[in-house]
Amino acid sequence: MATALFCGDIAFDVALRVPRFPDPDQKTHAFEHLVSAGGVAANAAVACARQGVDAALLAVVGDDVFGAYATGHLAARGVDVTAVTTTPGMTALSVCTLAEDGEKRLVYTSSVSQYPPLERVRDAELGAVDWIHTSCLHPEGAAVLAERARTAGIPMSIDLEPLALAHGMDALAPALHGAAVVFLNEGTTAEIGDVHGFAARHRLKSVVRTGGVRGATLTYGSGEIAVAPPPVGRIIDTTGAGDCLAGVYIARALSGSDPRSALRAAVASATYACGHLGAQGGYPDRPTTDELLAATNARRQERDTDLGKPQP
């Protein structure tokens, strides 16, 4: 079975739904809450594992209760945490509060768990790895991992967050060069501008741009594939939706799906996740994603049939 290695951050996540945000020096009671592991790499690893593909995590946590909880939570969700080690310090803590009107407030702490140290990246065992996914929040570490991936002939994907762009493209270029897929959210896409030029400069095989309610677009060479999201109910929480999309896309690619099919599965899964609280609270398993795709295809066929009927 194929194995995907996710390298990057782990956090201890707290998500709260409240009727309204309290005024200064007041408090309110949450009517729904979720405590889980989080982080870009950890979330994507869970999404991949939920699709039935082996997912391993290369990461570091602090020597606190948050790190122990997060590691155990990920293991229980099917992620191989053998390469997650503990170091003195604090694990990242993320608190997300969502009001009934959809407004979201997120507070995140910096910590030792944001990226493994360079020696861990250099020494990581890659012999059984078929895909590598990472972020560019630590450009030097990502560059080392990318060079190892290129040497070993392992496809590599990168989650390029707006925060990473602060390092400058010169610093990011060694990690980006030749990547199989670079995932961009709307903020990163806006800052980059010319996506085709960006892909050509860094010799990227493909770029996936997420567009929220518009779905996602895959750019490859001079071509593009656009996938709209399936009809959904109420959007509860968009936290971690992009991580879900990346993890599912990787899982489907490793399972033999073509890029269009992989993107459809990824968009459907990420949309489904937005109807649940927390980054990982609604990540679907493979049968659930397949059901979503089947329902979407049935609706598409019905629409095409209706369009083909003679008009009165």
Give the integer Cα–Cα distance in Å for 79 and 49.
Answer: 6
Are 88 and 63 contacting, i.e. CB atoms less than 8 angstroms apart?
Answer: yes
Q: What is the 3-state secondary structure (H, E, C) of 110-132?
A: CCCCCCCCHHHHHHCCCCCCCEE
Which pLDDT band holds residue 304 (cuts at 50, 70, 90)?
very low
Is this model's pTM higher than 0.85 or not? yes
pLDDT at 302: 53
Per-residue pLDDT for 26 more than 80?
yes
Are 44 and 266 contacting, i.e. CB atoms less than 8 angstroms apart?
Answer: no
Give the integer Cα–Cα distance in Å for 312 and 303.
Answer: 17
- Mean of the per-residue pLDDT values for the chain? 92
Can you tell me whether residue 104 is helix, strand or coil?
strand
Which pLDDT band holds residue 45 (cuts at 50, 70, 90)?
very high
239 vs 102, higher pLDDT: 239
Range 211-223 average pLDDT: 90
Assigned CATH for 3-9+40-91+114-297: 3.40.1190.20
Amino acid letter for position 201: R
Which of 41-50, 95-104, 140-149, 200-209 is predicted least confidently?
Answer: 95-104
Per-residue pLDDT for 76 more than 50?
yes
Closest among 54, 195, 224, 36 to 131, alpha carbons compared:
54
Per-residue pLDDT for 94 more than 90?
yes
Per-residue pLDDT for 301 more than 70?
no
Give the integer Cα–Cα distance in Å for 264 and 292.
Answer: 10
Range 108-135 average pLDDT: 95
Give the integer Cα–Cα distance in Å for 228 and 297.
Answer: 12
Are 106 and 96 contacting, i.e. CB atoms less than 8 angstroms apart?
Answer: yes
Which pLDDT band holds residue 234 (cuts at 50, 70, 90)?
confident
